Amino acid sequence: MASSVLNGADNLRLFRDIAPNGLSFMRSDLHGRCLSNMVYKPYGKNLKSRRIPLVRCSVSSSAPRPASQPRFIQNKKEAFWFYRFLSVIYDHVINPGHWTEDMRDDALEPADLSDRNMIVVDVGGGTGFTTLGIVKHVDAKNVTILDQSPHQLAKAKQKEPLKDCKIIEGDAENLPFRTDYADRYVSAGSIEYWPDPQRGIREAYRVLKLGGKACVIGPVYPTFWLSRFFADVWMLFPKEEEYIEWFTKAGFKDVQLKRIGPKWYRGVRRHGLIMGCSVTGVKPASGDSPLKLDPKEDDVQKPAENKLAFITRFLLGIAAASYFVLVPIYMWIKNLIVPKGIPI
């Protein structure tokens, strides 16, 4: 396993010696960025690993999602109503294409759920799909599912394996847990709705015990132009280096990034998988995060916009959501048609 430093992240270790897409490579998001020496192992047969000289650089500043970004999901109130209706079909329509059981188990593996007596919080747990993977390894009575959507949580309550879990409504950026509370923090498919991801990951640090581990699973920013357009008008799709920077600034050590995706994608990532990576970090000291932030602003609702702007954004949001439902179907069909060994 190779070690590298990304935007100042101490001891970022890349699973399987594979560098995240674009680490100092031409035509990538990180071309020209400062990084430490690392081993890059290219995909394909008969290709040799090579060491690339890179340069260590300092952590850059991080800011909340720009208020001017015209995304369909702009605040918690809009996310609330979005899931008011999506909760009806979430497990049957969204998960099969973007968040399968195999992906879930693969993404949770770095969380090291090694003891059934661990205290685990599943933040943004929604319908409990990810929680079902957690309770394979941890007793349900020690697991808390938190989400801001009562409609999603109602689905979780209906699942028999989760009947002993604590299920509460709450805000990922202002968790109702005491400092040094949990052994593991897990959040899957939630960060894309957070107005300020840095604040949410800072909260993950705070609620963990000394030596506890946080595992954040989320989408990655697309590189294909059409996917990138729809990602920008729908919700937050972070870049891989942003995840690492947020963890590092919050105070986490031993930060690791693992790529995940449906097997039938054949490693294709240009469309920005809804669940694109699993990032973990270890809390090195008891207490609150060393990162100091200004008091949290209320992001439940923003000032009203004119009706034409809202309707335009709403229609673009529906188109974006439809697009990302169709992309997995397209890639699944392409995987069946294109011979194995040929890039898709």
- pLDDT at position 93, please? 58
Residue of 211 and 264 predicted with greater confidence = 211
Do 34 and 115 belong together in one domain?
no
- pLDDT at position 172, please? 93
Please give the average per-residue pLDDT across 176-196, as a whole number.
Answer: 93
Which of 263, 244, 126 lies closest to 188 in space, CA to CA?
126
Last residue of a domain, one of 282, 308, 339: 282
Which CATH number belongs to the domain containing residue 259 in this structure? Answer: 3.40.50.150
Do 88 and 48 belong together in one domain?
no
Do 51 and 135 belong together in one domain?
no
Do 16 and 127 belong together in one domain?
no
- pLDDT at position 325, please? 82
On whether residue 334 sits in a domain, the answer given is no
3-state secondary structure the chain: CEEECECCCCCEEEHHHCCCCCCCCCCCCCCCCCECCEEECCCCCCCCCEEECCCCCCCCCCCCCCCCCCCCCCCHHHHHHHHHHHCCCHHHHHHHHHCCHHHHHHHHHHHCCCCCCCCEEEECCCCCHHHHHHCCCCCHHHEEEEECCHHHHHHHHCCHHHCCCEEEECECCECCCCCCCEEEEEEECCHHHCCCHHHHHHHHHHHEEEEEEEEEEECCCCCCHHHHHHHHHHCCCCCHHHHHHHHHHHCCEEEEEEECCCHHHCCCCCCCCCCCEEEEEECCCCCCCCCCCCCCCCCCCCCCCCHHHHHHHHHHHHHHHHHHHHHHHHHHHHHHHCCCCCCC
- pLDDT at position 32, please? 32
- pLDDT at position 242, please? 95
pLDDT band at 326 (very low <50, low <70, confident <90, very high): confident
Which range, of 7-11, 88-92, 304-308, averages the lowest pLDDT?
7-11
Tell whether the model's pLDDT for residue 142 goes beyond 90.
yes
Do 223 and 101 belong together in one domain?
yes
Last residue of a domain, one of 226, 250, 282: 282
Q: What is the largest CA-CA distance in the chain?
A: 58
Residue-wise pLDDT for 20-38, tens only, equals 433 333 233 333 333 333 3
The rounded percent of the chain whose pLDDT value lies above 90 is: 45
Tell whether the model's pLDDT for residue 46 goes beyond 70.
no
- pLDDT at position 39, please? 34
pLDDT band at 198 (very low <50, low <70, confident <90, very high): very high
pLDDT band at 201 (very low <50, low <70, confident <90, very high): very high
Tell whether the model's pLDDT for residue 5 goes beyond 50.
no
**If you average pLDDT over every residue of the chain, what do you get?**
77
pLDDT band at 226 (very low <50, low <70, confident <90, very high): very high
In terms of residue numbers, what domain contains 92? 76-282
161 contacts 139 by C-beta, under 8 angstroms: no
- pLDDT at position 15, please? 42
Please give the average per-residue pLDDT across 144-154, as a whole number.
Answer: 91
Total domains in the fold of the chain: 2
Sign of torsion, CA 66 68 69 74?
Answer: positive
Residue of 123 and 230 predicted with greater confidence = 123
On whether residue 301 sits in a domain, the answer given is no
Residue-wise pLDDT for 70-91, tens only, equals 555 555 666 555 555 554 555 5
Do 18 and 135 belong together in one domain?
no
